[in-house]
């Protein structure tokens, strides 16, 4: 056990300290920061950009009212000429000239593109209110008449507290689970296979195997790789937790967070359920298969070829689960949720979208667990035979030879 | 003592070991020699439990199991360490598998590096060391835990004569410590110089097994080295001489039918006169190797 732990630590230390791991882990954070940075920069320095609309009016009161959004609308231009010049130089998106002839408000928009529906409706609303006021003044109505005219219809809305539908929550949870599995497997199957193939090329493995049984070394290696993946996920979990705490306090995300708080909670609880066990077991069984593929090649540069079958199985699970999507009751999905390797894709899908009986979940997990342990023991038993072979006899022959060595 | 009894191994239809039996004593160096592909590495791998062979392998009266690993030191044929690790990281990892604590490893590593005159520090990356120094580090990994069974597969390959001598000293010191050492080399001079006993393998079988000098003598002293004024032709015509060859040192090497004819040839060559050299010897180990393993 101590030797397994030593190999685990050595594998873990070597991989976690590598630049490729550090870059892999921090790249999503860098991506998020860059996205936020661009958003911030564009909102900070975007005020004088050509997205603005200028209001040109001699009536300062109306002009001020029309500037309902200080970022979108400017009052910098006082004449049509200066606004036209600004439009020509693409400093503004367009300009709205508002004139009052007698008791009639006339507004004319000049721009390279049409006003958006929201902008048009906002302008119309403000202008209509002012026109109404002018009309009232002109009609010289009594207080009673004014009150009667001011009466408006009532429109009530009753919004369900849920905010986002259960179906959306399921889709989000399913998508995150499937993409998480895919991302981890695509990244780590190649890494494991590469690592083992490069070790195989060195005679140091003979020295290692003269100190401990190859089988134990293999277990240490798989557990070490699993520890690296777990660290990777833990960092994301901590990162996600930190964002969960920080985002509600930030001005920019406060509103959005309050709106989706319930949904985030439900998605997280979907992810941190039995689905996580499927993800973890799936990662282990695929890692073992990738290790076997890595041990079959003689030259490390052949690893990508050898690891192809693993990638295909991952793709079957990934694409299959996406194709069947929400059709969790399909018979293919039901069967696939019991087949080791792809059950890690299909059973979480069933668990998210439909009710699966405890017996079915238990049987599927038992099959997956048995397959994982069985494969680990089988590859472990062959491991010294696989690693100590240095003749380039092809993948199939290499496998046959390894099974004859012990 | 290491004892191999009736060891046999086949890979598919190919039998690589056939009824191999020999023993290696504690405090002795046993040379395991044979042509490439004779089965030496399979024997080493069987001892180390890498491959499962028929027969039995016993070290100090016990079967070799996981527990025996701590008392084994193995230096494989080709040299290769993990290039990205530092010297200490590499040695520490392998020593830890043998049960050594990191602190003790550091202390012992420094002593060994000094003893083997390794040019480099313990925090240097393996890849920054010269090939010879990497080889020395690998030998340190083999010996640092003071194993009682040491298996050295061609330990001198690629070393210059000075470092070869340094390594020989270390191997002899390990012998003095009481370790059982099995050693393989294609250079018979090294084998003759270091080994107490020899096991020769040919096509998976033991063809010779015994103490080196006794083995040589068992072939008879049928080589005569003589420095004389006689011509090569005259020497060739002498009775019981099968071959004559002039050596680069100015002497003739005569192969004779049997060592008992040595005295007769001595009389013929000297004729009662002075000769600078007359030396009757058994075949060298190299010649025996070619005769027995070269078939």
Q: pLDDT tens for residues A136-168?
A: 888 877 778 777 877 777 777 665 555 567 777
CA distances from A126 to A67, A95, A114, A121 (A): 10, 16, 18, 9
What is the model's pLDDT at position B88?
Answer: 93
Closest CA to B60 of B71, B48, B75: B71
Question: Does the pLDDT of residue A60 top 70, yes or no?
Answer: yes
What is the model's pLDDT at position B142?
Answer: 92
Contact across the interface for B97 and A3, Cβ inside 8 Å: yes
Percent of chain A with pLDDT over 70: 92
CA distances from A340 to A319, A335, A347, A373 (A): 16, 11, 10, 11
Task: Give the side-chain half-sphere CA count within 13 A for A394.
Answer: 3
Q: pLDDT tens for residues A360-373?
A: 889 999 999 999 99
CA distances from A390 to A220, A272, B51 (A): 23, 44, 15
**Strand pairing partners for B210?**
B198
Which of A203, A209, A211 lies closest to B79 in CB terms? Answer: A203
Chain A contact residues (CB < 8 Å to B) = 3, 6, 10, 14, 201-204, 206-214, 384-385, 388, 401, 404-406
> How far is the alpha carbon of B97 from chain A, nearest alpha carbon, in Å?
6
Mean pLDDT of B8-30: 88
Contact across the interface for B97 and A204, Cβ inside 8 Å: no
What is the model's pLDDT at position A369?
Answer: 93
Looking only at the bridges linking them, the beta strands covering A104-111 and A94-101 are antiparallel
Which of B52, B69, B80 lies closest to A210 in CB terms? Answer: B69
Closest CA to A15 of A373, A210, A287, A382: A287
What is the model's pLDDT at position A381?
Answer: 87
This prediction's pTM = 0.74
**Strand pairing partners for B183?**
B31, B152
Percent of chain A with pLDDT over 90: 10
What is the model's pLDDT at position A42?
Answer: 64
Return the residue of A nearest to B48 by Cα.
A210
DSSP B1: -
Indicate whether this complex's ipTM tops 0.85: no
Q: pLDDT tens for residues A300-324?
A: 788 888 888 889 998 988 888 888 8
Question: Does the pLDDT of residue B135 top 90, yes or no?
Answer: no
Superfamily of structural domain A53-141: Periplasmic binding protein-like II (3.40.190.10)
What is the model's pLDDT at position B92?
Answer: 93
What is the model's pLDDT at position A159?
Answer: 55
> How far is the alpha carbon of B158 from chain A, nearest alpha carbon, in Å?
16
Contact B109, B136 (CB under 8 A): no
Mean per-residue pLDDT over chain A, rounded:
83
Model confidence at B11, pLDDT cuts 50, 70, 90, reads confident
> Residues with Cβ < 8 Å from A396, sequence gap 6 or more?
none
What is the model's pLDDT at position A237?
Answer: 85
For A331-370, the DSSP string reads HHHHHHTTSTTTHHHHHHHHHHHS---HHHHHHHHHHHHH
Mean pLDDT of A327-341: 85
Model confidence at A220, pLDDT cuts 50, 70, 90, reads very high
Show the domains of chain B with their CATH numbers.
2-216 (3.40.50.300), 220-292 (3.30.70)
Contact across the interface for A10 and B93, Cβ inside 8 Å: yes
Most confident segment among A36-40, A253-257, B177-181, B227-231? B177-181
Which of B52, B73, B74 lies closest to A206 in CB terms? Answer: B74
Q: pLDDT tens for residues B47-67?
A: 988 888 889 898 888 887 777
Return the residue of A nearest to B50 by Cα.
A384
Closest CA to A52 of A128, A130, A124, A112: A112
Question: Does the pLDDT of residue B120 top 70, yes or no?
Answer: yes
Contact A227, A8 (CB under 8 A): yes
Indicate the domain borders of chain A.
53-141, 166-405
DSSP helix/strand/coil, A248: helix
């Amino acid at each position: 056990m101590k030797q397994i732990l030593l190999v685990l630590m050595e594998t873990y230390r070597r991989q976690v300290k590598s630049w490729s791991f550090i870059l892999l882990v921090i790249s999503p954070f860098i991506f998020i920061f860059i996205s936020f940075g661009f958003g911030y920069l564009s909102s900070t320095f975007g005020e004088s950009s050509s997205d603005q609309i200028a209001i040109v009016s001699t009536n300062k009161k109306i002009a001020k009212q029309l500037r309902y959004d200080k970022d979108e609308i400017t009052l910098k231009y006082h004449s049509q000429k200066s606004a036209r010049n600004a439009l020509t130089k693409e400093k503004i998106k367009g300009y709205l000239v508002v004139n009052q002839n007698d008791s009639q408000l006339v507004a004319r928009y000049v721009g390279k593109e049409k006003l958006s529906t929201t902008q048009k409706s906002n302008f119309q609303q403000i202008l209509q209110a002012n026109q109404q006021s002018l009309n009232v003044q002109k009609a010289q109505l009594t207080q009673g008449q004014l009150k009667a005219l001011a009466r408006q219809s009532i429109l009530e809305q009753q919004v369900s507290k849920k905010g986002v539908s259960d179906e959306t929550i399921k889709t989000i949870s399913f998508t995150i689970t499937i993409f998480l599995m895919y991302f981890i497997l695509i990244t780590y199957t190649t890494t494991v296979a590469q690592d083992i193939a490069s070790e195989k090329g060195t005679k140091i493995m003979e020295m290692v195997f003269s100190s401990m049984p190859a089988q134990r070394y293999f277990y240490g290696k798989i557990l070490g790789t699993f520890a690296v993946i777990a660290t990777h996920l833990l960092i994301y979990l901590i990162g996600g937790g930190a964002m969960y705490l920080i985002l509600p306090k930030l001005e920019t995300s406060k509103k959005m967070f309050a709106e989706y708080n319930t949904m985030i909670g439900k998605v997280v609880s979907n992810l941190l359920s039995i689905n996580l066990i499927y993800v973890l077991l799936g990662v282990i069984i695929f890692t073992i298969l990738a290790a076997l593929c890595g041990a079959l090649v003689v030259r490390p540069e052949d690893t990508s070829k050898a690891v192809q079958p693993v990638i295909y199985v991952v793709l079957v699970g990934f694409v299959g689960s996406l194709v069947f999507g929400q059709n969790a009751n399909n018979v293919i999905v039901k069967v696939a949720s019991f087949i080791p390797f792809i059950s890690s894709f299909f059973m979480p899908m069933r668990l998210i979208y439909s009710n699966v009986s405890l017996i079915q979940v238990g049987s599927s997990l038992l099959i997956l667990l048995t397959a994982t342990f069985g494969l680990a023991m089988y590859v472990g038993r062959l491991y010294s035979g696989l690693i100590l072979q240095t003749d380039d006899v092809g993948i199939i022959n290499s496998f046959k030879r390894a099974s004859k060595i012990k | 003592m290491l004892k191999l009894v009736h060891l046999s191994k086949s890979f598919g239809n190919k039998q690589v070991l056939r009824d191999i039996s020999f023993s290696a004593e504690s405090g002795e160096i046993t040379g395991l020699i044979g042509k490439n592909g004779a089965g030496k590495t399979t024997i080493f791998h069987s001892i180390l439990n890498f491959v499962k062979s028929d027969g039995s392998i016993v070290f100090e009266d016990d079967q070799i199991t996981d527990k025996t690993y701590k008392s084994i030191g193995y230096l494989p044929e080709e040299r290769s360490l993990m290039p990205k690790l530092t010297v200490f990281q590499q040695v520490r990892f392998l020593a830890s598998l043998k049960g050594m604590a990191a602190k003790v490893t550091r202390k012992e590593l420094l002593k060994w590096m000094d003893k083997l005159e390794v040019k480099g520090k313990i925090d240097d990356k393996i890849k920054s060391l010269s090939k010879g120094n990497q080889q020395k580090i690998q030998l340190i990994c083999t010996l640092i835990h003071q194993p009682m069974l040491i298996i050295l597969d061609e330990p001198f390959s690629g070393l210059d004569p000075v470092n070869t001598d340094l390594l020989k000293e270390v191997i002899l010191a390990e012998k003095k410590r009481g370790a059982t050492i099995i050693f393989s080399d294609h250079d018979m001079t090294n084998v003759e110089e270091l080994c107490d006993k020899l096991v020769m393998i040919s096509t998976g079988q033991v063809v010779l097994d015994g103490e080196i000098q006794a083995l040589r003598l068992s072939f008879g002293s049928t080589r005569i080295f003589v420095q004389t004024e006689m011509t090569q032709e005259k020497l060739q015509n002498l009775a019981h001489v099968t071959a004559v060859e002039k050596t680069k040192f100015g002497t003739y090497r005569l192969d004779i039918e049997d060592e008992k004819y040595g005295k007769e040839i001595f009389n013929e060559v000297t004729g009662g006169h002075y000769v600078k050299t007359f030396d009757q010897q058994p075949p060298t180990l190299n010649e025996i190797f070619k005769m027995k393993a070269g078939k």
